[in-house]
Structure 1
Amino acid sequence: MFVIRRATTADREAVEELTRARAHWMAARGVRGAQGWERFAGESGRQAAAPDTPVWVVATEAGRVIGRTTLGEQTPLWGWTEEEQAQPAYFLNTTLTHPEFAGQRVGSLLAWWAVDRAAATGRGWVRRAVGPDPGLLRYYCDVQGWRIIHRVERHGEDAYMLGREAEPLPALARHLLTPA
């Protein structure tokens, strides 16, 4: 069982360490983007500690932070139509998990939690974007249930705008505790 909760100032160092651990894991495997995550580690921790930034963390029951995501209340301007931007939706981004917990679907739990939370808060959609990584795109679609809404060019590369309609996912309660 994992716990998902809003990040606090006390999570800053743990979120930085988590971000660096993911960057080092990616670098060791030659995965694209590792340097970007390494550079982002300090900012990742600052965002987690900022009360006005909607960062959520997943922790073990013992309290170790093993995942993080940002759940924005605005769909970004790039990649989405004006009509889509006007719809009540969450935008999920900067999701990462600790490599020591690979195979435990921590990232999927974060995504599914967002879908469930959107339904509970009256939003119709959860959206996210992914770059030109075909493996990650396939994983998001085939395992997590996202569908491609748009393909756009971003910084000279293809980016995919993904969406999932909000829906209650009561089975999450067996894996993920959300404190009141």
Structure 2
Amino acid sequence: MTVAFPLPEASGIRRPTAPYLMRLIAPGDGAALEALVREDERAGSRPDHGVRLLERAALAPLLGRQTWVLVEKAGGQVLAVAELGAEYRPARFQPPVLPVRILRIHPAHRKQLPKLLAMWLRDHAARRCGAETVLYQGRDAHLRECLAAEGWAHSVAGLSHQPLPEPALGNLITTAGMSPRGRSHQWWTPTLDANERSAGPGWELACTIRPLNAESDLPGLRELLEARRRWLKARGLDLQGCEEGRFRASPRADGKQASPTGVWIALWRGGIVGAVAVAPSEGPVSSDQSRQRIGAALEITAMCTHPDFQQEEIARVLGWWAVDTAAEAGLRRVRTTATRTLADRWVGQDWCFVREPADGAPPGRQARVIERTALPVPALTTCVRLPRRPNRTVSAEDTR
């Protein structure tokens, strides 16, 4: 569908300057983003994202996503915020998908900007990505109606559209800060190469991962588990996995032992938003005469995340922490038993299906045992606050 937008007066110039600039979010955008959020909420909009836009952007190198802001060139005002995730395959042999969200739009521009952003998303996917489908995963009813009117098809996962070059888009938007074509891929592994923005100087890190203190952190842990239970109960889902007994702190969960054991928590501005219990697992016994243990791995025995922080993807952050921690301890694999939904989501991050649980899936819950190779994750230390660790030399074998 061809969309016509009013262009500024050319005043005799043959090629008018594009009125908008699309660029990656920057640490100095805090005040502009706060103003956008205030205007959006004053107008009664209730999008599924809070005011943590800038804080979430600091996790971008770890989660493989990019946050873009649409700026009006004339006044420098931020009019919209969009987020592009890392490409993934919904199933083993299906074509790659680019997940996208429109996080905020200025209320004075909610009529014309959705169409413009839809054009930019299709064009960006066609020119700079390898995905065959653009998938909008937001829940804003107005935006969904606008995209549907532009030919986006409804599906279980959201609204989808094929990538489509938009030759006329250059008269409307100037895009700055593009990464090389094909930078994203379906097997996303966090890196910090020369072409990727680090969350280092200038970015305030809101997320911290540290061991659970059995005394001072217990009230916060109980609040986390209770919030998760309420969220699951409201949706008629199984409450298994939210038992306090699954998150018993180990007295040596201080990061100093050779093999990590115990409960670790993720904090956001001091509040507990996630918890994970880990322990080394020797794996099954081989059948040879030496009876050697094989499949040694770091086992994620329990994980719980706060439902109000779904867009921060705390589960993925804790997953990458486990991958990095296992490599630090000299283990080669990370393994966990997850619900089918979480397992399917993590398979797109280079996790692979191993087997069904030995004891069978709990009633009302389909479980999968999944694992992946442990490796150092350099982006973790620039996106998340971590306890100090001894410096470790990263070998070529570690980065394979």
Counterpart amino acid of residue 108 in structure 1: R
Contact 1:73-1:90 at 8 Å conserved across structures: yes
Alignment partner, residue 118 of structure 1: 326
Which is greater in Rg? 2
Alignment partner, residue 17 of structure 1: 223
Q: Which whole-Å CA distance do the structure 1 matches of 2:234 and 2:241 have between them?
A: 13
- Structure 1: gaps of 5 or more residues: none
Q: Which whole-Å CA distance do the structure 1 matches of 2:370 and 2:267 have between them?
A: 26
Alignment partner, residue 136 of structure 1: 342
Using the aligned pairs only, state the percent identity: 27
SS of 2:281's partner is coil
Q: Which whole-Å CA distance do the structure 2 matches of 1:85 and 1:124 have between them?
A: 13
Q: Which whole-Å CA distance do the structure 2 matches of 1:21 and 1:85 have between them?
A: 39
The answer to whether the aligner puts 1:174 opposite 2:349 as a matched pair is no
Counterpart amino acid of residue 82 in structure 1: V
Matches within 5 A, 1:18-37: 18-31=224-237, 33-34=238-239, 36-37=240-241
SS of 1:57's partner is strand
Matches within 5 A, 1:25-174: 25-31=231-237, 33-34=238-239, 36-37=240-241, 40-41=243-244, 43-44=245-246, 47-48=248-249, 50-51=250-251, 54-60=262-268, 62-75=269-282, 81-83=284-286, 86-130=294-338, 133-142=339-348, 144-152=349-357, 154-155=359-360, 159-174=367-382
Q: Which whole-Å CA distance do the structure 1 matches of 2:353 and 2:264 have between them?
A: 24
Which protein is richer in strand relative to its size? 1
Q: Deviations over 1:75-127 (max 9, x none)?
A: 5xxxx532495443210121111111111011101011110111122111111
Deviation at 1:67, TM superposition (A): 0.5
Counterpart amino acid of residue 51 in structure 1: P
Shift of the 101–85 alpha-carbon distance from structure 1 to 2, 3 Å rule, reads: farther
The answer to whether the aligner puts 1:6 opposite 2:211 as a matched pair is yes
**TM-score for both structures, normalised by structure 2:** 0.38
Deviation at 1:37, TM superposition (A): 4.5
Shift of the 85–11 alpha-carbon distance from structure 1 to 2, 3 Å rule, reads: farther
Contact 2:333-2:371 at 8 Å conserved across structures: yes
- Structure 2: gaps of 5 or more residues: 1-204, 253-260, 287-291, 389-400
Q: Which whole-Å CA distance do the structure 1 matches of 2:241 and 2:234 have between them?
A: 13
Q: Deviations over 1:124-144 (max 9, x none)?
A: 1111112xx4322211212x4
Instruction: Give the structure, 1 or 2, with the largest relative contact order (CA under 8 Å, sep 6 or more).
Output: 1
Contact 2:354-2:369 at 8 Å conserved across structures: yes
Q: Which whole-Å CA distance do the structure 2 matches of 1:148 and 1:30 have between them?
A: 27
SS of 1:81's partner is coil
Aligned length: 166
**TM-score for both structures, normalised by structure 1:** 0.81
CA RMSD between the two structures: 2.3
Which protein is richer in helix relative to its size? 1
Q: Which whole-Å CA distance do the structure 2 matches of 1:129 and 1:156 have between them?
A: 10
Shift of the 121–102 alpha-carbon distance from structure 1 to 2, 3 Å rule, reads: same
2-11 or 86-95: bigger deviation: 86-95
SS of 2:330's partner is coil
Counterpart amino acid of residue 65 in structure 1: I
Contact 1:15-1:44 at 8 Å conserved across structures: no
